[in-house]
Amino acid sequence: MNRRTAIIAGLVLVLLGLQWRLWIADGGVSHTHRLKQQVAKFSDQNEQLRVRNAALDAEVRDLGTGTAAIEARARTTLGMIKQGETFYLVVHR
């Protein structure tokens, strides 16, 4: 009976060890769930960056093909005006 109890106890310990690896350890269910969440988060970030890159690419192509885009960029970003133009600054209170 003593030997039988030791074998059963050993099998229970092996079963518990395998269950621990399945549910808790790296490569287990919880680890896989966390990795899937990270993949979803990074996929969302990648999509946002893809949209941003497409907008920047369009802007670069626009700046490279015509003077209108360069002029608009100089006016809005650098505050430049054309020669002969008068600049008026209207302050709202």
The residue count for the chain: 93
Q: The pTM is what? A: 0.50
> Is the four-CA dihedral 33, 39, 41, 44 of positive or negative sign?
negative
9: tokens are 């106890």
Question: Residue 28: what pLDDT?
Answer: 77
* Closest by Cα among 47, 44, 24 to 34: 24
Residue recorded with tokens 């287990």: 28
Split the chain (93 residues) into runs of 10 and give each run's mean pLDDT.
Answer: 86 83 76 91 96 92 79 82 84 86
Contact 63, 70 (CB under 8 A): yes
- Looking at residue 1, what is its pLDDT? 64
Domain boundaries, the chain: 2-78
Q: What is the pLDDT of residue 23?
A: 75
